[in-house]
Amino acid sequence: MEMARIGATAAGGCRRLALSDEDRAARDLYIDWCRSADLAVRIDHVGNIFARREGRSPSLDPVGCGSHLDTQPHGGRFDGVYGVLAALEVVRTLNAHATETEAPLEIVVWTNEEGARFAPSMLGSGTFAGVHTLDFALTRRDREAITVAAALESIGYAGREPCGGHRYRAFFEAHIEQGPILEREGFTIGAVTGVQGLDWYDLRVGGEDAHAGSTSMAARHDALAGAARMITAIEDVARDHAPHAVATVGDIHALPGSRNTIPGTVEFTLDMRHPDAQALSDMGDAIRAECATIARQRGLELGIDSVEHTAPVVFAASCVASVRTGAETLGYPLREIISGAGHDACHLAGVAPTGMIFVPCAGGLSHNEAESATPADLAAGCNVLLHALLDHAAGTP
């Protein structure tokens, strides 16, 4: 709640855009807390913050955990910041109990997770994981054409450490679920097994503009009527891949857009997601085939362009297992869950065994100023994080 005062909004949320003055204030406060917990703080070239607690064997790769401090413009008090402060709370608890770990621990704040000011999202973790080059990251611009490099300089967070190139034994991120499943089903902990993949397509259906009164039904090439059949076929494909598949047509334009002209052109978008790469690819094939058949039957032209593809992430079995064991040891009701949203942990999964811990949030609401979670659930997530970290750092719970 103290952190939530930085960038607090009238409606009870937070506005801490990446690398803004509010982000600087949040980082400064966090680093104060880290130093008070005897952590050694380093900052890399994209402003990622690493705070290290030494282990008995300093030469071992550290176990990492963390999340992000930036928020959406109308963001909440928990998205991201929970994972950062949960990590700090674990360190404070180990300090309070004078517990040493074999491997060092490193708690991390990743720069620009939200992507609200600078696209793409998850920029700091993506650069760390080698998905983006440093030059790409530093040259991203906000709407005022301010680059990431300039914003880092202006808030004093252009760090000296090279970005990436150091390894983690394992990495964990605690996060609110940002969906309704845990709350609805009465679970305290979600052991996240992966993050669904995403395909975005633009579809264009070409028919023929014609007079609505004088063109018989048999003579028409109605692009909108064809698109309507395609959209229901898309729904059917998603249902055929239940329970994990989702497909959404969220935007559609019929041209020329006149009451008494048969639409000759329709453009619409498709957002399709599935946690399994093969299933996602099969869905794409099925949708192409179904739409092509409908187009052929109706004498329409069809264009399908792929505009974005994000592969599904499968988290490490060893990390999912420690989250499960931690929750079982502590007696928290646990369910395995797939994340519908992207997280820094998705990029970390490419370079280290990675896992995530979800806790319920009220009404499943997130990216919203009313975002909320109970102290008991947040504490439970922290406790599971502690156990998971000790498990991988070869400490003694």
What count of Cα atoms within 13 Å lies in the side-chain half-sphere of residue 308?
11
CB of 125 to Zn ion, least distance (A): 11
What count of Cα atoms within 13 Å lies in the side-chain half-sphere of residue 252?
17
CB of 196 to Zn ion, least distance (A): 16
Q: Which stretch binds Zn ion (CB under 5 A): 76-84, 93-101, 126-134, 221-229?
A: 76-84
CB of 27 to Zn ion, least distance (A): 16
Q: Which stretch binds Zn ion (CB under 5 A): 73-81, 199-207, 252-260, 309-317?
A: 73-81
The contact pattern for Zn ion, residues 32-71, with x = CB under 5 A and - = no contact, is ----------------------------------------
Does 80 help bind Zn ion (rule: CB under 5 A)?
yes
CB of 339 to Zn ion, least distance (A): 10
CB of 127 to Zn ion, least distance (A): 17
Does 369 help bind Zn ion (rule: CB under 5 A)?
no
Does 342 help bind Zn ion (rule: CB under 5 A)?
no
CB of 78 to Zn ion, least distance (A): 9
CA distance 24 to 1: 17
The contact pattern for Zn ion, residues 278-297, with x = CB under 5 A and - = no contact, is --------------------
Out of 23, 79, 222, 371, the only residue in the binding site for Zn ion (CB under 5 A) is 79
Q: Which stretch binds Zn ion (CB under 5 A): 74-82, 203-211, 218-226, 318-326?
A: 74-82
Q: Which stretch binds Zn ion (CB under 5 A): 80-88, 143-151, 160-168, 238-246?
A: 80-88
Q: Which is nearer to Zn ion, 175 or 387 (CB)?
A: 175
The total of other beta-carbon atoms located within 10 Å of residue 120's CB is 14
Q: Which stretch binds Zn ion (CB under 5 A): 29-37, 72-80, 162-170, 236-244?
A: 72-80
Q: Which is nearer to Zn ion, 89 or 173 (CB)?
A: 173
Q: Which is nearer to Zn ion, 149 or 192 (CB)?
A: 192
Gyration radius of the chain's alpha carbons: 24
Q: Which is nearer to Zn ion, 286 or 341 (CB)?
A: 341
Question: Which residue lies nearest Zn ion, judged by its C-beta?
Answer: 80
Residue numbers at the binding site for Zn ion (CB under 5 A):
79-80
